[in-house]
Amino acid sequence: MTLDEKIGQLAQVNAAGGHVPDHLRDAIREGRIGSVLNEVHVDTVNEIQRLAVHESRLGIPLLIGRDVIHGFTTVFPIPLGQAASWNPTLVEEGARIAAQEAAACGVNLTFAPMIDISRDPRWGRVAESLGEDPYLTGVLGAAMIRGFQGDDLARDGSIAACAKHFAGYGASESGRDYNTTNIPENELRNVYLPPFKAAVDAGVASLMTSFSDLDGVPASANTFLLKQVLRDEWHADAMVISDWESIKQLAVHGFTENDRESAYQAATAGVDMEMASTAYADHLASLVREGRISEPTVDAMVRNVLRVKFRLGLFDNAQTDAAAYAPAANADHLHAAYNAAVASAVLLKNDDWALPLHVESLDRIAVIGPLADDPYEQLGTWIFDGDAAHSRTILQSIREFVGERATVEFARGVQTTRSRSHEHVAEAVALAARSDVVILVLGEEAILSGEAHCRADITLPGAQQGLLEAVSATGTKVVLVLMAGRPLALELAVPHASAMLYAWHPGTMGGQAISDLLFGVVSPSGKLPVTFPRVTGQIPIYYAHKHTGKPATAESFIHMEDIEPRAHQVSVGNTSFHLDAGFTPLFPFGFGLSYSHVEYEHMQCSTAVLTMTGRITISADVVNVGPRPVEEVVQLYVRDLVGDVTRPVKELKAFTRVQLARGERRHVAFTLTARDLAFYGRAQRLIVEPGRFHVWIGGSSNPELRAEFTLVDDTAR
Ligand code: BGC
């Protein structure tokens, strides 16, 4: 390979449009391109590959990249919704189907999974994430990677995955996209990096660097992340790709003087491929000639790119036979999307068993709200290839389910989720007043979350709170269904609904899934993958917080309205809380109700003493004492009571799903070893410390049962 041909492999160019423009044709023939993104017309992709393989000197096929984030033609729930399923099998299946639909168009690389730990729901990209927890994100991210890549990347229907955004992007200051991140190394290692390590362990083919700077060094030029952690510590051989123009943006950050220096910094830090901008194409060759970058450095970058192409089997065949694939959005794919939408919905409130609805006892059903019958908005963010024509809306699905058994009437209430006008509220109120139940579908349109779509106030936007209150004031029972790309701050909404079902943006089959959930055809089993604040000002609020030296308790908390006028400065409890919001979330991580009631009993540890080489089994009985069958996500949390650095009050260490018939009791056991208790200490090395641990089993991060064990060092001489 000539130096220019090597540098060509490092270029990824945008090529949407369904045809091959002359400049692209020439660039491919001349070996100046290693990858294109955003071309999804299979004939065009095949032509692009033909040019690369047959008309360039070396015949190297191309990577064809696309954001296949939560489905392709068939849209699955947004990733945050999928995370609420706590179901790696479903998540893997969704990615598998997305990969097949994308591969049929010639796509061989997706920019997913996004595994940025997200503890700030103001950030629009929380929608794309798998939530706030490193362990859950790691497990589900690895499942997505398995789904996209299959056992063998060379097999038809497998596409290369890309773990993004490496690293720390989720900590964007004030939840404003692209903003600076400042994460102490210890927190980075204990919270933000573990999902990426899990992705590397799952064999992810590539990683994408983040737009953001981390402690002053942009991720796309971050030697610590890309060399020390990724290559030296983790021994990853995955390809590293920049984010869109993020190499060029190094100069915009004020980190480099110009594009040439940006190319230098990114290449020496370890970014193999440049997305969209041309700093490498324009400057790498002269940097090598000048001796500032060595040719072996470029060789290593090229090798990382070519390895992905080899793994994909592209050198054997780069052409796509679309006819060999099952049609997109076929019945099986839609069924899988339906299952995922069912599993992702979280029942947040259900007073007096308001749900499920019994159609026999209803004459008039009101369906109200701007998202009740919108085939597009229910799909959520990042649906470049999604087709709303396949969508099943809530209204449509309820009408089909109910048939002649009751009257179903619809009112939009407000024009969009953002409209401030109350013009149509009266009509919705009149409908509510003459109905037996209101199914009110509120939330956020798709465009209010996702990249660059952040909010400073995450309450229900527009006139929706007013609509909710007006409808609820009729006295008719209100079932509130929420579709949104983030946790909303719903403290003011809760009192006005008898039941609340959080559906995220549920995708193509969302309407049918929700209708079936509301009428009890299926039961809710989702659990929150992220903490729901009461008010925006509580952010960041997450379950795995530190204890602090002055932890708040129910006894120490005083609301500001209860403080006497002119009270002395030390009148309040001197513990860590907000005077106006307390210290607890509205709904905790891991929480979700069902149509039954589960109790936990008889928690046991197999031993009181765990050795460094031993194992401990922690178990409990899970009993379905409610009226219906249930699928429960049983969760295990641990607290390391004393650490070399302060440790979170709880950390998720394991979970499993159990299906219980009415009255059924099941013994559920988890096994831990010392490795599961490892963390990064002050020296930023992974350590396992002897000492006392609390352990909980339950159905949320406020678990019912607690036990204790001690870890002893039996290896010390
Ligand atoms: C996003 C990436 C995405 C890329 C390509 C960027 O703006 O940050 O997540 O994969 O665009 O579309």
> What is the C-alpha separation between 107 and 162, in angstroms, rounded?
13
Residue 244 Cα to ligand 1 midpoint, Å, equals 6
What is the model's pLDDT at position 570? 78
What is the model's pLDDT at position 377? 98
Burial class (CB in 10 A: 0-12, 13-18, 19+), 303: middle
Phi, psi of 47 (to 5 degrees): -65, -40
Query: Whose CA is closest to atom 10 on ligand 1?
Result: 111
Per residue, what are the HEC states of 304-364?
A: HHHHHHHHCCCCCCCCCCHHHCCCCCCHHHHHHHHHHHHHHCEEEEEHHHCCCCCHHHCCE
> CA 160 → CA 539, 635, 706, distances in Å?
35, 31, 42
* 343-366 residue pLDDT tens: 999 999 999 999 999 999 999 999
> What is the C-alpha separation between 32 and 28, in angstroms, rounded?
6
What is the model's pLDDT at position 717? 58
119 occurs within a structural domain: yes
322 occurs within a structural domain: no
534 occurs within a structural domain: no
Residue 209 Cα to ligand 1 midpoint, Å, equals 10
* 249 and 385 belong to one structural domain: no
Query: Whose CA is closest to atom 11 on ligand 1?
Result: 244
* 388 and 483 belong to one structural domain: yes
Q: How many helices (H) and strands (E) does the chain have?
A: 18, 26
> CA 473 → CA 409, 411, 502, distances in Å?
19, 17, 22
Atom of ligand 1 nearest to the CA of 211: 8
Please report, as a single letter, which amino acid is at residue 178. Y
209 neighbors 236 (Cβ within 8 angstroms):
no
Tell which of 501, 518, 535 closes a domain. Answer: 518
* 376 and 514 belong to one structural domain: yes
What is the model's pLDDT at position 166? 98
Query: Whose CA is closest to atom 4 on ligand 1?
Result: 244
Residue 382 Cα to ligand 1 midpoint, Å, equals 10
* 292 and 346 belong to one structural domain: no
What is the model's pLDDT at position 579? 96
Sign of CA dihedral 137, 140, 145, 151: positive
Q: Does ligand 1 have an atom closer than 6 angstroms to the CB of 111?
A: yes
Half-sphere exposure of 349 (CA within 13 A, CB side): 18
Pocket test for ligand 1, best of 14, 39, 111, 453 (most atoms within 8 A of CB): 111
Per the DSSP assignment, residues forming a β-bridge with 546 are 648
Residue 211 Cα to ligand 1 midpoint, Å, equals 9
* 196 and 219 belong to one structural domain: yes
Q: Does residue 113 have a cis bond before it (omega within 30 degrees)?
A: yes
530 occurs within a structural domain: no
- Give the residue from 292, 322, 343 showing the smallest Cα distance to 92: 343
* 484 and 352 belong to one structural domain: yes
> CA 410 → CA 314, 325, 407, 435, 445, distances in Å?
52, 40, 10, 11, 19
> What is the C-alpha separation between 102 and 157, in angstroms, rounded?
8
The C-alpha angle 602, 603, 608, rounded to 5 degrees, equals 130
579 neighbors 560 (Cβ within 8 angstroms):
yes
Which DSSP state fits 225?
Answer: I
Atom of ligand 1 nearest to the CA of 162: 10
Please report, as a single letter, which amino acid is at residue 137. T
550 Rama class: left (phi>0) / alpha (psi -120 to 50) / beta? beta
Query: Whose CA is closest to atom 8 on ligand 1?
Result: 243
13 occurs within a structural domain: yes
Q: Does ligand 1 have an atom closer than 6 angstroms to the CB of 178?
A: no
Annotated active-site residue in 133, 243, 640, 676:
243
303 neighbors 237 (Cβ within 8 angstroms):
no
Query: Whose CA is closest to atom 2 on ligand 1?
Result: 243
Pocket test for ligand 1, best of 37, 38, 67 (most atoms within 8 A of CB): 67
For β-strands 11-14 and 35-37, DSSP reports them as: parallel
Q: Does ligand 1 have an atom closer than 6 angstroms to the CB of 453?
A: no
What is the model's pLDDT at position 174? 98
Place of tokens 């599993």: 343
35 three-state secondary structure:
strand
* 352 and 382 belong to one structural domain: yes
Would you say the pTM of this structure is higher than 0.85?
yes
532 occurs within a structural domain: no
For β-strands 691-698 and 686-687, DSSP reports them as: unpaired
Tell me whether residue 243 is one of the annotated catalytic residues. Answer: yes
Question: What token pair was written down for 321?
Answer: 């036979």
* 554 and 690 belong to one structural domain: no
Query: Whose CA is closest to atom 6 on ligand 1?
Result: 244
Tell which of 60, 83, 104 closes a domain. Answer: 60
* 463 and 574 belong to one structural domain: no
Question: What token pair was written down for 527?
Answer: 């659990």
Residue 243 Cα to ligand 1 midpoint, Å, equals 6
Mean pLDDT in consecutive groups of 10 residues from the start of the chain, 717 residues: 98 92 97 98 98 98 98 98 98 98 98 98 98 99 98 97 98 98 98 98 98 98 98 98 98 98 98 98 98 98 98 98 98 98 98 98 98 98 97 98 98 98 97 98 98 98 98 98 98 98 98 98 98 98 98 94 90 90 98 98 98 98 97 98 98 98 98 98 98 98 96 85
Residue 448 Cα to ligand 1 midpoint, Å, equals 17
> What is the C-alpha separation between 500 and 482, in angstroms, rounded?
7
> What is the C-alpha separation between 665 and 716, in angstroms, rounded?
42
- Sheet with strand 162-166: strands edge to edge: 162-166, 206-209, 239-241
535 occurs within a structural domain: no
Q: How many Å from the N-terminal Cα to the C-terminal Cα in the chain?
A: 56
233 occurs within a structural domain: yes
Per the DSSP assignment, residues forming a β-bridge with 365 are 408, 437
Q: Does ligand 1 have an atom closer than 6 angstroms to the CB of 245?
A: no
CATH code of residue 491 = 3.40.50.1700
CATH code of residue 639 = 2.60.40.10
* 46 and 180 belong to one structural domain: no
172 neighbors 123 (Cβ within 8 angstroms):
yes
* 217 and 84 belong to one structural domain: yes
691 neighbors 641 (Cβ within 8 angstroms):
yes
37 neighbors 66 (Cβ within 8 angstroms):
yes
* 407 and 367 belong to one structural domain: yes
- Give the residue from 416, 459, 446 showing the smallest Cα distance to 424: 416
Residue 210 Cα to ligand 1 midpoint, Å, equals 9
Q: What total of structural domains would you count in the chain? A: 5
Pocket test for ligand 1, best of 39, 209, 244, 248 (most atoms within 8 A of CB): 244
Domain boundaries, position 660: 598-712
> What is the C-alpha separation between 45 and 61, in angstroms, rounded?
11
Q: Does ligand 1 have an atom closer than 6 angstroms to the CB of 166?
A: no
CATH code of residue 288 = 3.20.20.300
Q: DSSP of 606-620, one letter per residue?
A: S-SEEETT-EEEEEE
What is the model's pLDDT at position 352? 97
Sign of CA dihedral 607, 610, 611, 613: positive
- Give the residue from 213, 127, 201, 123 showing the smallest Cα distance to 163: 201
